[in-house]
């Protein structure tokens, strides 16, 4: 790559937070550039802030008060002496007005031209531009013209992304309500409530092409990615190359040609992604163009050896790209690890992350590198973790619930999936629930391994992760024995030991809605519990048991109100059940509690209204998602304790639905 003298970057300001800020800082440091972070009050102790050479505080927590305040962000960059702004993804990364303001302030914008951002900012106008450029598109439907023959349709927000303002509609009578809901969500998320409809392909494949273009007319199509496995219209698993494209010989060349046409049509410069929806025959249609770096960019880096952030910086400084990008080698798979509660409809979780060890060997303490960007033609499997959190980090309600991206490269796809599933299983994650087990289940699923990964994956195969009650029971026993060892550390006679037969020791733990009660006695002959369990050793942090003749080690970590047990059987988070209930913690029957801290965006009922089971009563926005609070049973709204715009804490009573007399 050759560089012109058009611009010199010495200090990079990242107008973002968390994982992507750490990612950009990593490359900037490697290039000898200084780094500047910006942070809200809630983010003041996050690792990316400490890792920057300088940091500027924006008072407040909500994005609308901090990261979305373009004028404050630019003022922070100028105050810190930065000469370039990298927007990351999300927040203001695709805001043309912000990009222009950065340039007007005399700063280098590490992104595409303002006109290119504007032209792709409206999905409606973007589709018209792409059609004119010869890129295949799905016909747009205005909400008023949708008929029964068009169903199912997808209602989409014209601005923004990430699944916000998106609804699948299968019944014509549901369309007005879903349009209203999608528009309200889009207005809240992006400041633009415009929505449109298009034909919904229930089993399509989500294929995207990474674009990199310089200021001198060179446009690269840097491989494709497949991101078809999605939940709530948000990507869960991403991989490169695409299994579908690998099966259809002519499809890659056609995709790359369409992506380059799309970039050329708007004079694109920098890193971007052209997204398509494809069918099993290889036909594909333009969805949108993301005028920024994508969350899933690591799989492209791992299969090409490129550092896309380094290329962004070089192109912004005026560098020329070589005529052709490097070829792709091997296969990379990325999963998004979210803080979620699998026992409560995968609701986002908040709270302290006591321990976070992903890509770390439990025995040897081995740590993986984020990426080496030095791609051999063949070689051992590589593991990469891009994370915004560390031990002790606080998962707040104000931002996205993603903890990390875990990526594995291997010469062969099945080997990559197998290694990634194993890394997730070995991870130590204490303090919040996660989708870790769901991700492992996907990676081991026969349909995934066969490359059958369209957007209907969860509809066909389900989304629940089977839970073996026996694992919870033996983990609860290990927790009880570790607790007993901890209470008598230094005392020679273990808790529960009796010289003569006596009543067993009893403890109860809850996992989701399941309560595990364990009863044991420690005698001169050892542990008496069940015929198939023998105690080998027990310490406050480690219990070794023989179960059905198989020895297993259980690592036990106790926190306030939480016990985490990790073993080869899986990781189990246990809540100790107190013998006596605190009356102050009890609530009235029919109370609807806030599942997490958030803001009440809408209230759909009044006191005295009759409601049916499952009827939406109010809507709570938290962690970039809108959550519907529904009636638990038929009844009457007896109490309504909140109003629109009110901030609530987790566990707060929002309303009470009383039985209709």
**Tally of CB atoms within 10 A around 645:** 10
Of the CA atoms within 13 Å of residue 554, those in its CB half-sphere come to 36
Of the CA atoms within 13 Å of residue 346, those in its CB half-sphere come to 16
Active site residues: 292
Pairing of strands 140-141, 195-199: antiparallel
3-state SS of 374-440?
CCCCCCCCEEEEEECCCCCCEECCCCCCEEEEEEEEECCHHHHHHHHHHHHHHCEEECCCECHHHHH
Spatial CA neighbour of 68 closest among 94, 46, 44: 94
3-state SS of 283-338?
CEEEEEEECCCCCCHHHHHHHHCCCHHHHHHHHHCCCECCCCCCCCCCEEEEEEEE
Task: Identify how many contiguous H helices and E strands the chain contains and give both numbers.
Answer: 16, 41
**Tally of CB atoms within 10 A around 264:** 13
> What is the rounded distance in angstroms from the CA atom of residue 119 to the CA atom of residue 129?
8
The beta strand positions in 421-569, using DSSP E, are: 428-430, 505-511, 514-523, 526-528, 533-538, 542-547, 550-559, 562-567
Spatial CA neighbour of 309 closest among 335, 275, 270: 270
Task: Say if residue 161 is exposed, middle or buried (CB neighbours under 10 Å; 0-12, 13-18, 19+).
Answer: buried
Residue 124 to residues 127, 128, 130, 462, 605: CA-CA distances in angstroms?
6, 7, 10, 33, 34
Cβ partners under 8 Å of residue 633, min gap 6: 590, 613, 657, 659
> What is the rounded distance in angstroms from the CA atom of residue 406 to the CA atom of residue 383?
8
Of the CA atoms within 13 Å of residue 46, those in its CB half-sphere come to 27
Cβ partners under 8 Å of residue 372, min gap 6: 382
* C-alpha of 3 from chain center: 36
Joined together, the tokens standing for residue 258 give 């369409």
């Amino acid at each position: 790559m050759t560089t012109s003298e058009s611009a010199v970057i010495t200090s990079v300001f990242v107008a973002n937070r968390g994982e992507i800020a750490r990612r950009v800082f990593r490359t900037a440091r490697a290039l000898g550039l200084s780094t500047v972070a910006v942070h809200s009050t809630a983010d003041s102790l996050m690792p990316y802030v400490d890792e920057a050479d300088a940091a500027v505080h924006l008072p407040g927590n909500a994005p609308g008060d901090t990261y979305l305040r373009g004028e404050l962000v630019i003022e922070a960059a100028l105050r810190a002496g930065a000469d370039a702004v990298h927007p990351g993804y999300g927040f203001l990364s695709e805001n043309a007005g912000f990009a222009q303001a950065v340039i007007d302030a005399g700063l280098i914008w590490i992104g595409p031209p303002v006109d290119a951002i504007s032209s792709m900012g409206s999905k409606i106008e973007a589709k018209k531009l792409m059609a004119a450029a010869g890129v295949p598109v799905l016909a747009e439907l205005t909400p008023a013209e949708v008929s029964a023959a068009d169903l199912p349709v997808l209602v989409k927000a014209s601005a923004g992304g990430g699944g916000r303002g998106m609804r699948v509609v299968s019944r014509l009578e549901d369309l007005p309500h879903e349009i209203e809901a999608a528009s309200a969500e889009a207005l809240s998320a992006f400041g633009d409530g415009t929505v449109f409809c298009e034909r919904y392909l229930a089993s399509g494949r989500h294929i995207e092409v990474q674009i990199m273009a310089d200021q001198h007319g060179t446009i690269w199509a840097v491989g494709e990615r497949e991101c078809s496995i999605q939940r709530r219209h948000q990507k869960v698993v991403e991989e490169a190359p695409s299994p579908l494209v690998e099966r259809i010989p002519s499809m890659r060349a056609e995709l790359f040609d369409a992506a380059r046409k799309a970039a050329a049509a708007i004079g694109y410069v920098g890193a971007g992604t052209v997204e398509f929806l494809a069918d099993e025959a290889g036909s594909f249609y333009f969805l949108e163009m993301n005028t920024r770096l994508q969350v899933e960019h690591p799989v492209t880096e791992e299969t090409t050896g490129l550092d896309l952030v380094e290329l962004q910086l070089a192109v912004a400084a005026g560098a020329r790209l070589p005529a052709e990008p490097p070829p792709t080698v091997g296969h990379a798979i990325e999963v998004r690890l979210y803080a979620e509660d699998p026992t409560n409809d995968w609701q986002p979780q908040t709270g302290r992350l006591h321990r976070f060890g992903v890509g770390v060997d439990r025995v040897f303490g081995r740590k993986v590198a984020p990426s080496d960007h030095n791609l051999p033609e063949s070689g051992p499997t590589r593991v990469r973790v891009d994370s915004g959190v560390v031990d002790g980090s606080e998962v707040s309600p104000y931002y996205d619930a993603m903890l990390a991206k875990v990526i594995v490269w291997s010469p062969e796809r099945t080997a990559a999936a197998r290694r990634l599933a194993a890394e997730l299983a070995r991870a130590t994650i204490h303090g919040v629930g996660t989708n870790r087990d769901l991700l492992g289940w996907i990676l081991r699923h026969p349909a995934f391994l066969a490359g059958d990964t369209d957007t209907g994956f969860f509809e066909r195969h389900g989304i629940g992760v089977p839970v073996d009650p026996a694992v919870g029971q033996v983990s609860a026993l290990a927790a009880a024995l570790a607790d007993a060892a901890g209470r008598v550390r230094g005392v020679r006679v273990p808790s529960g030991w009796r010289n003569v037969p006596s009543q067993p020791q009893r403890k109860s733990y809850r996992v989701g809605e399941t309560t595990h009660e364990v009863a044991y006695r420690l005698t001169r002959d050892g542990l008496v519990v069940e015929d198939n369990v023998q105690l080998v050793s027990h310490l406050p942090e480690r219990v070794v048991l023989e179960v059905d003749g198989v020895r297993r080690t259980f690592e036990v970590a106790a926190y306030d109100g939480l016990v985490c047990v990790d073993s080869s059987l899986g990781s189990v988070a246990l809540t100790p059940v107190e013998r006596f209930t605190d009356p102050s913690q009890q609530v009235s029957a029919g109370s609807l509690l806030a599942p997490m801290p958030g803001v009440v965006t809408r209230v759909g009922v009044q006191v005295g209204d009759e409601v049916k089971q499952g009827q939406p009563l109010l809507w709570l926005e938290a962690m970039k998602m809108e959550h519907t609070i529904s009636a638990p049973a038929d009844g009457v709204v007896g109490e309504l304790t909140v109003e629109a715009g009110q901030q609530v804490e987790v566990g707060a009573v929002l309303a009470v639905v009383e039985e209709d007399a």
